């Protein structure tokens, strides 16, 4: 299975607590294409912020699970 090109960036940008709304800059250099837009304490707030974006496919929410695993939605 091919490794997702954003995996290392996702891990680097995932907050220890809370939820990060992240955008994708397809024109940036590989390894620097993801950027944090805003941090939220609650998942629902991050999800609502994503839904407010014009092109929702270019944004996602990063967070750590209870077992310290990384999630991207």
pTM: 0.87
The three-class DSSP label of residue 10 is helix
Task: Specify the pLDDT at position 6.
Answer: 81
- Within 13 Å, how many C-alpha atoms sit on residue 29's CB side? 2
> Is pLDDT at 19 greater than 50 in this prediction?
yes
Residues in Cβ contact with 10 at an 8 Å cutoff, skipping those fewer than 6 apart = 4, 22, 34, 62, 70, 72
Question: By the 8 A CB rule, do 43 and 61 touch?
Answer: yes
Beta-bridge mates of residue 24:
34
Task: Specify the pLDDT at position 1.
Answer: 32
Q: What is the mean pLDDT of residues 22-28?
A: 92
Tens of pLDDT, residue by residue over 35-72, are: 999 999 999 999 999 999 988 888 999 999 999 899 99
By the 10 Å C-beta count (0-12 exposed, 13-18 middle, 19+ buried), 39 is classed as middle
């Amino acid at each position: 299975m091919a490794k997702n090109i954003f995996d290392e960036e996702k891990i680097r940008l995932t907050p220890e607590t809370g939820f990060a709304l992240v955008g994708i800059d397809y024109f940036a250099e590989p390894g620097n294409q993801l950027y944090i837009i805003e941090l939220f304490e609650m998942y629902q707030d991050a999800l609502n912020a994503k839904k407010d974006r014009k092109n929702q496919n270019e944004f996602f929410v990063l967070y750590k699970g209870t077992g310290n695993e990384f999630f991207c939605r």
